[in-house]
A and B are shown apart, each in its own frame.
Chain A
């Protein structure tokens, strides 16, 4: 898999479910018989991956929400990793 373009609109992969778990105090990704606990930034990225927003749009949102800049490389690299794990898919 090549690095994703920033125009893609990722969504949660088939068979995975993202939800907030109060008992874990974090977002988790559930899949057949397993669970991945997401750290804060991974959780913030994943909740925005709804198949509607592009990576560009997600970066803008995150930079606004967290009063930060230059987040694009981090978001892209997370999306690439998540794609390899099939947590995220896109056209």
Chain B
């Protein structure tokens, strides 16, 4: 049925996932960071009491997973208070951290507060990759933090963002995660938003690199079995297939940014034509069910062709709105990674540029996520 009148905006279920981005402050400067380009202008962080209220309101709606993220969430000195309340309310509490600042003492305090799980990421800017490859500072830090995590009995998920500059080291990366005793390893290909989009030409891998990485991951999977589960998140630029972004706009995920802006996904704030609500002004319930911005791209009713008559429209929900905006400059069109998108040639072009290797770092130096670059880029006319 291609009749647009049959498509509706469904009444959503509860937001199962509450991602609390506690701060944009971060000791690292990762070139693939998804935090907004203008993060340096957003310094007005929610207070402890605001966060505790947001947690309560989210839980009342039925949220069960609470991600504590950033920036680097360990930079909030009220993290233990926030974790304790989240746990008391019945959330499964996940700390998403670089590990910088996770001392044994802090880990004990977080354990006492009820923290359920730590996801330790490898930020892996090129400099750090070098550190890691030469077994110097970073390796020692991660090794120490991994041990601290194990000592507290937390399940450990290690997350490594893959890109052109580190993907060939995948064998070493997996070996290290196994050595550290991770239960899960997420090998996540870079998604090209925000800082990663700025650096896309330098970060997009070639097809051969991807195939090699997947083959190496398969060998390790066979070798390790259940001891460490390896997830390989394929890059959608190379797949020709749109993904159901955040499992559907406003269907499961609710992100609250450091200043209290509520978003259906962590990069949605870039989208034009939407004013996102703030938890300082509205309850989580009003935001989730009634706000214009959370309803805008729910379901399939907003779609245009080729999405609106596509047989896959319920599976992928048109893909990612941010990607449509970044690549096609229109958030209401099909995700350009889809082969059916009229803008798909722009994605193919980027992938072909990566194949040809024309984007050398000397032509387009990597832009590091730091306050100086943030202020520079956010004052430029777009």
Contact = CB atoms under 8 A, between A and B. Distances in A.
A6 to B, nearest CB: 24
Contacts of A32: 92, 94, 116-117, 119, 155, 157, 183-184
Given A15-B117, A15-B183, A35-B64, A30 B92 contact: yes
A15 B92 CA distance: 10
Interface stretch (A20-28, A43-51, A52-60, A65-73): A20-28
B61 interface: yes
A40 interface: no
Interface residues of A, number: 16
B62 interface: yes
Binding site secondary structure of chain B: loop
Nearest to B153: A14
B155 A23 contact: no
Contacts of A19: 90
A21 B117 contact: no
Contact of A15 (B14, B16, B154, B226): B154
B309 to A, nearest CB: 33
B205 interface: no
A58 to B, nearest CB: 25
Contact of B14 (A14, A23, A86): A23
A28 to B, nearest CB: 7
Contacts of A35: 16, 64-65, 92
B248 interface: no
Contacts of B157: 32-33
B186 to A, nearest CB: 9
B64 A21 contact: yes
A30 B62 contact: no
B264 interface: no
B61 A17 contact: no
Contacts of A90: none
B67 interface: yes
Contact of A14 (B61, B64, B90, B155): B155
Contact of B65 (A15, A24, A34, A86): A34
A23 B92 contact: no
A28 B155 contact: no
B2 to A, nearest CB: 33
B117 A28 contact: no
B92 A17 contact: yes
B94 A33 contact: yes
A54 B153 CA distance: 25
A37 to B, nearest CB: 10
B18 to A, nearest CB: 12
Interface string B63-80: 011010000000000000
B373 to A, nearest CB: 30
Nearest to A1: B226
Contact of A28 (B61, B64, B119, B226): B64
Interface in B264-278: none
Contacts of A30: 64-65, 92, 116
B110 to A, nearest CB: 15
A24 B61 CA distance: 11
Interface in B13-70: 14, 16, 61-62, 64-65, 67
Given A19-B90, A33-B67, 10 more contacts: A15-B154, A23-B61, A28-B64, A30-B92, A31-B155, A32-B92, A32-B94, A33-B157, A35-B64, A35-B92
Nearest 3 CB-CB pairings of A with B: A23-B62, A15-B155, A30-B92
25 contacts: A15-B116, A15-B117, A15-B154, A15-B183, A17-B92, A21-B62, A21-B64, A22-B62, A23-B14, A24-B62, A30-B65, A30-B116, A31-B117, A31-B155, A32-B92, A32-B117, A32-B119, A32-B155, A32-B183, A32-B184, A34-B65, A35-B16, A35-B64, A35-B65, A86-B226
Interface of B: 14, 16, 61-62, 64-65, 67, 90, 92, 94, 116-117, 119, 153-155, 157, 183-184, 226
Interface of A: 14-15, 17, 19, 21-24, 28, 30-35, 86
